[in-house]
Amino acid sequence: MGKFLRERLKLTIHPKKISLRKLHQGVDFLGYVIFPKHRLLRIKTKRRIFSKLRKRIEEYRRGEASQPQVEQSLQSYLGVLSHANAYKLSQDLRNQLWLTDLTRCLEKI
């Protein structure tokens, strides 16, 4: 493969950035782990999404962010999840936002 890349395509591969993996391990690429028949969100990416959404919700509670801003953040994250097999994760994100709205409503009572 290296010979083909060098001679035919005039490309070189960085020697420290090559990793041969087994098919069942998947390929880590752009925040996803790609398998032959499905894609999953990388765990680090999932943690980052939940962390940033929690921060946005806290900003909303302090009055530093508006409800449309929180909803825009949620829609952005749901867009990222739409490219992976992450139905349950997207439901968890929606529920986190819904619970925030419920808590805010209960505080007013």
| Domain annotation covers residue 19 | no
Closest CA to 78 of 48, 51, 49, 39: 49
Residue 8 within a domain: no
Residue 41, in any domain of the structure = yes
Q: Is residue 38 part of a domain?
A: yes
Structure confidence at residue 109 as a pLDDT band (50, 70, 90): very low
Q: Can you give the residue range of the structural domain that contains 48?
A: 28-108
Instruction: State the Cα–Cα distance between residues 23 and 96, nearest whole angstrom.
Output: 34
Which DSSP symbol is given to 36?
S
- CA-nearest of 92, 85, 102 to 49 is 92
- In angstroms, the CA 59 to CA 53 distance is 10
Q: Where are the alpha helices (DSSP H) in 1-109?
A: 2-7, 43-62, 67-81, 87-108
The total domain count for the chain is 1
pLDDT band for 100, please (50, 70, 90 cuts): low
Residue at 79 is within a domain: yes
Tell me whether residue 2 is in a domain: no
Let me know if residue 5 belongs to a domain.
no
- The percentage of residues in the chain with a pLDDT greater than 90, rounded to a whole number, is 9
* Local confidence band at 7 (pLDDT 50, 70, 90 cut-offs): very high
